[in-house]
Structure 1
Amino acid sequence: MTTVRQRIDTQHRDAIHDAQLNIYGSRLATCGSDRLVKIFEVRPNGQSYPMAELVGHSGPVWKVSWAHPKYGGLLASASYDKKVIIWNEQQGRWQKAYEWAAHEASTTCVAFAPHQYGLMLASASADGDIGILRYDNSSNEWISSKIQKCHEQGVNSVCWAPGSADPAAKKRLVSAGNDKNVKIWAFDDATNEWILEKTLAGHTDFVREAAWCPVTNNGQHTIVSCGMEGNLVLFRTSNIETEEWKAKLLETAPCALYHSSFSPCGSFLSVAGDDNVITIWRENLQGQWIKVPRDNKEREGMSQAVGAPGAQR
């Protein structure tokens, strides 16, 4: 049974669109329609304290993303105002470190890359493009580029593939868009360009988000996507270089699904939908994804449905 450990009164003045913990779970960043980004300290005892209120966007803020702590306190935010802002913490004070405004429509998502890729991030936009920002240590500047015309009618999300200790491993990311597709992009070192590597089908409506599992198991990669038609689709490959991705429909929910996110260990998946419910999925030892019951009543119903021993009382 899942339980609420704590509630945090963020005091946002309007709807909250995203909330992200850093890798240690000690800092929480939130953003909302009030154009604000807020940062909270989260203590092990469950208490939380406001740390900063970041003002810089002129429209609703859709997404926030933490950089790996090896790069210090860095946070990125994406907004309806077409901007990506990178915030930096120095001596307990947060300030704007860089602002990128090259998208031609709402910036819908932002995601820092795994630290093995270097200090870089990707942004998604309703203009159909994906932006790439990379910090160049030699010039101490952010270098920008774009992957253009990624999805017709707009890109809704971007997520990086897990980092690798192998320097020859390709950088990859996955995107979801309003063209009903999930797409995998790979960086070609020879041409210095991002190439469309694979288009994954499994949706009949806008794909709201695609999440790449941060952990690989014996070379197996996993992506989960969710869409407006209610489909929750699992994609897997045992060898990303040579084998095809196999799709499996985990569920068709009775409502639109907006968000999907893996736990850092990769064995849990959370999904949020239009019914104001967050469902948790867990991977069992057989590699199957099972929905975690929300309460004892639901647990009993699921046990009876599969004829589990001890279901009758």
Structure 2
Amino acid sequence: MLQTSLIPTGHADLVTHAAYDFYGEKLATCSADHKIKIFSKLPDGTWELETEWKAHDAPILQLSFAHPIHGVLLASCSHDRTVRIWEEQLAPAGSGAPPKWVERGILSGAKGSVRSVEFAPPNPAYGLRVASISTDSHLRVHTSLDPDLNDWSLAHDVHVPSLTSEDVPETQGATPAETATGGWALSWCKEKWWGSVIAVFAGNSPVARIIQLDDTPTALLNLRPPGVSPLTAIAWAPSCGRSYHLIATGARDGTVRIWRAEPPSDDDDGAKSWSAETVAEFPKGARVGMVEWNATGTTLTTSDDEGVIRIYKPTYAKNWKLLGKMTAEEPPAEE
């Protein structure tokens, strides 16, 4: 595939995550240098640094933009055990000054590094919500009904087992060093029809858990693949009118799987029974770092520890095939 450009971020340390806003016109990056940088897209397709600031007191691990119905909001999480909420404030017209990002909340309470954060899809019944999971293996959902975002409350605090008796023993499939690190990630269901549903995994478990957060948190389904490799990434696809859901997972052994999750139908008499099956599995490679869907849930992008980005798309026969791959390295100069 064609690599169009490189963005020199100017971070002083490892870039740990990058996130686009809803419209793809802003790009936020975070780093182990404790800073967030915001880039804006120019008419010619290039990116220009708009603003930057020191956002945390430790390396920042992930970013998430809120849906624009809530304004221009960004959440960040860090090794400093906090989630922070930032709001863009535009400079006075004609001043030529870049926008400022004002801190609107510090969400604390985690007893470990906060490894993943994501704003919930918009749902007027619940207000503005943000979910996070930390290395204490607790999924926390905070909500704010205050238009000024000055009042945040903890709506849910759910322990997510990293290993259970149904999972593999901790000594299988991972070295002691790998066991100590583990993986923690989450992804919201994008369809509000089913309420507040989220996919999450913690620690060294190879199992992703689907949890409904309405009222009392309830376990709906476990995505339990064969094998013992701990998960490293998860992404819930936009449904776009499908009667089923697609969820992608990545594992430490390099395996990427796509799951088809079926919610209960109208004929189930209200029974909360979900089911799931694997519809695609791609060959093992380097440790998967990221899985991400496009806006319609029809294309899956993955990255791994070797710096290879792969793009998968279904055929007319509904078989998922590799569409292309690329790396972030510059091509060698021609002789």
Q: TM-score range by the shorter chain?
A: 0.7 to 0.9
2:212 aligned with 1:186, yes or no?
A: yes
- Which of 186, 205, 211 does residue 235 from structure 2 map onto? 211
Match of 1:305? none
RMSD, aligned CA: 2.0
C-alpha spacing 1:124/1:18, structure 2 compared with 1 (3 Å)? same
Match of 1:94? 101
Structure 1: gaps spanning 5 or more residues: 296-313
Match of 2:119? 112
In structure 2, distance between residues paired with 1:138 and 1:251: 45
Match of 2:254? 230
In structure 2, distance between residues paired with 1:27 and 1:151: 36
C-alpha spacing 1:217/1:287, structure 2 compared with 1 (3 Å)? farther
Paired residues of 1:136 and 1:143 also in contact (CA < 8 A): no
Per the alignment, in what secondary structure is the counterpart of residue 245 of structure 1? strand
In structure 2, distance between residues paired with 1:237 and 1:88: 35
Match runs of 1:256-295 below 5 Å:
256-294=287-325
Match of 2:201? 176
Per the alignment, in what secondary structure is the counterpart of residue 70 of structure 1? helix
In structure 2, distance between residues paired with 1:147 and 1:197: 17
Paired residues of 2:240 and 2:296 also in contact (CA < 8 A): no
Match of 2:142? 133
In structure 2, distance between residues paired with 1:138 and 1:239: 34
Match of 1:196? 219
C-alpha spacing 1:225/1:47, structure 2 compared with 1 (3 Å)? same
Paired residues of 2:35 and 2:52 also in contact (CA < 8 A): yes
Match of 1:299? none
Amino acid at match of 2:199: V
Normalising by structure 2, we get a TM-score of 0.81
The superposition leaves residues 34-56 of structure 1 with CA deviations (integer Å, 9 ceiling, x where unpaired) of 11111111124212111121213
Match runs of 1:48-87 below 5 Å:
48-87=47-86
2:6 aligned with 1:7, yes or no?
A: yes
Per the alignment, in what secondary structure is the counterpart of residue 64 of structure 2? strand
The superposition leaves residues 24-82 of structure 1 with CA deviations (integer Å, 9 ceiling, x where unpaired) of 11000001111111111112421211112121311111100000111111000010111
The superposition leaves residues 200-236 of structure 1 with CA deviations (integer Å, 9 ceiling, x where unpaired) of 1115122111110012443110101001011111111
> How many pairs does the alignment contain?
288
In structure 2, distance between residues paired with 1:139 and 1:217: 34
- Which of 284, 293, 297 does residue 253 from structure 1 map onto? 284
Normalising by structure 1, we get a TM-score of 0.86
Per the alignment, in what secondary structure is the counterpart of residue 242 of structure 2? coil
In structure 2, distance between residues paired with 1:113 and 1:148: 16
Instruction: Report how far residue 243 of structure 1 moved.
Output: 4.5
The superposition leaves residues 65-104 of structure 1 with CA deviations (integer Å, 9 ceiling, x where unpaired) of 0001111110000101111000011122111111112100
2:125 aligned with 1:121, yes or no?
A: no
Match of 1:159? 187
Structure 2: gaps spanning 5 or more residues: 91-98, 164-181, 265-271, 327-335
Per the alignment, in what secondary structure is the counterpart of residue 159 of structure 2? coil
Overall identity of the aligned pairs, in %: 24
In structure 1, distance between residues paired with 2:80 and 2:220: 30
In structure 1, distance between residues paired with 2:298 and 2:282: 18
Amino acid at match of 1:245: A
Paired residues of 1:186 and 1:194 also in contact (CA < 8 A): yes
